[in-house]
Amino acid sequence: MIMKKMTCKQLGGACDKEFQANTFEEIGEMSKKHAMDMFQNGDKPHLKAMNEMQELMKSPEAMKAWFENKRKEFNALPEN
Ligand SMILES: [Zn+2]
């Protein structure tokens, strides 16, 4: 099974937790779920990171560019 790894931080989060997935969509879902868990725990660094993402989401263009960037980063990762 080929899996690629990205950390919470690399995906716009706040910690070094690693996610493993085959597709960018999957890893995006995993990081989103993790962010929601941390949000519910009231974790300050994650709250701050989520606020920054929400700021970014106000501009659909900026959001699209961010996702494309991350998708490229994911696709460029070595498969291990
Ligand atoms: Zn995290």
* CB burial of residue 38 (10 Å; 0-12, 13-18, 19+): buried
Ligand 1 centroid from CA 30, angstroms: 10
Ligand 1 centroid from CA 11, angstroms: 9
* CB burial of residue 10 (10 Å; 0-12, 13-18, 19+): middle
Ligand 1 centroid from CA 50, angstroms: 10
Ligand 1 centroid from CA 17, angstroms: 6
Ligand 1 centroid from CA 46, angstroms: 6
Ligand 1 centroid from CA 80, angstroms: 22
Residue whose entry in the numeric block shows the structure tokens 């490229």? 72
Whole-model pTM: value is: 0.89
> pLDDT tens digit string along 21-80?
999 999 999 999 999 999 999 999 999 999 999 999 999 999 999 999 999 999 999 876
- The average confidence (pLDDT) of the chain is 94
Separation of alpha carbons 8 and 1, rounded Å = 22
